[in-house]
Structure 1
Amino acid sequence: MAMNSLKDVYLDQLQDIYSANRQSLDATTKLGRVASDKELSEALIAGQNGISEGMEKIAKLCSDHGIEPTEEFCKGMEGLVKEVHAHALDEEFGSDDVRDAMIITQYQRMVHYALAGYGCLAAFANRLDLDGDAAVLQECLDATADGDRHMTAIATKKVNAAAV
């Protein structure tokens, strides 16, 4: 698809964030399986649920615009998922606490990618006067930001101290 307007960019990026979510869902599931801290594991399960909900919302927006959500492959998230494997899943750790600290690091990198995507999409929807889309995307952005803040709290209140 040629990018001739902001609407074209918007539709392309809806598909991109869907792909990013699909890839991060699998990685988050794997991180949740190896996390040893109970609160971290529960937060990763909540993250999986949030990613799935975001995918459903993005799929609906795509459908409303007559496009398939799966027509784009997000190379940015592909790289982040490779980092998850290299640094959190395939790496050897001297303790579970150190692994948990790395899990949070890698998870938050994926989350920050999603925050940028949702933020841009919400701004595009607002500029295009797609008020319904903008509201949905703002919900996704807010939920993702809440999850990120919760993960930071787990790191700073418990996991990082245990990993020292």
Structure 2
Amino acid sequence: MNGLKDLYLDQLQDIYSACKQSRDITIELEKAATDAELKEALHAGHKGISDGMDMLRGLIEGHGKDPGGEHCKGMEGLVAEARAHALEEDFGDDATRDAMIVTQYQRMAHYAIAGYGCVKAFAKRLELPDEAQKIDTHLSHTYDGDERMTEIATSGINGDARAA
């Protein structure tokens, strides 16, 4: 790494990898979820992640780099946790599994929020305002998805799991 631009491109590739991994597990989480509102939110989530990947691909390729040039070990760990705790774990009832699905999805979303926030700051410092705006749009969507999951959990799933 020879400066902020190298760091910026490296982290764009890292987030691209993170998105690819989280999109795939989000599809699996959607299939495992039983709450209709949760299933809908997860569907919107993997659509949003795909849109983010398209944006990231464009930014990375615009700088002459390969979007697949990195493998995000951080998201790899979060995906392994989501698989182990939300998909492979035995649950006594669907609401408890759904609560765990929300938990695991939000952990991945928070990772994405941190990554998008960093590269947005790098883009601003590098005087790439159009790129910073594109990143900010997806950062905002990720925040919105996280807030929606909190609403779903607190308005029903967590109470249903508690009653089980």
In the alignment, structure 1 residue 115 sits paired with structure 2 residue 113: yes
| Aligned residue type for 2:18 | A
SS in 2 for 1:138: helix
CA deviation string 1:100-156 (max 9, x = no partner): 000000000000000000000000000110011000000010000000000000001
Give the gaps of 5 or more residues in structure 1.
none
Please report how far the alpha carbon of residue 85 of structure 1 lies from its aligned counterpart in structure 2 after TM superposition. Answer: 0.8
Instruction: Tell whether 2:7 aligns with 1:33.
Output: no
What does residue 96 of structure 1 align with?
94
| Counterparts of 1:145 and 1:129, CA distance in 2 | 24
Q: How far does the alpha carbon of each residue in 1:12-56 deviate from its partner, in whole angstroms, 9 at most, with x for none?
A: 000000000000001000000010000000000000100000000
Unpaired runs of at least 5, structure 2: none
Instruction: Kindly state the Cα deviation for residue 58 of structure 1 after the two structures are TM-superposed.
Output: 0.1
Q: Which residue of 2 aligns with 1:23?
A: 21
Query: How many residues end up aligned between the 2 structures?
Result: 162
Could you say what the CA RMSD is over the residues aligned between the two structures, in angstroms? 0.4
> In structure 2, what is the equivalent of residue 57 of structure 1?
55
SS at match of 1:129: coil
Looking at structure 1, the residues matched to 144 and 65 of structure 2 have their Cα atoms a distance apart, in angstroms, of: 29
Counterpart residue identity of residue 2, structure 2: N
> 1:27, 1:54 → 2: CA distance?
16
Partner of 1:66: 64
TM-score (ref. length: structure 1): 0.98
Please list every run of at least 4 consecutive aligned residues from structure 1 whose deviation after the TM superposition is greater than 6 angstroms. Answer: none
Matched letter for residue 14 of structure 2: D
Give the C-alpha shift of residue 59 in structure 1: 0.1
In the superposition, the TM-score normalised over structure 2's length comes to 0.98
How many percent identity over aligned positions? 59
CA shift for structure 1 position 68: 0.7
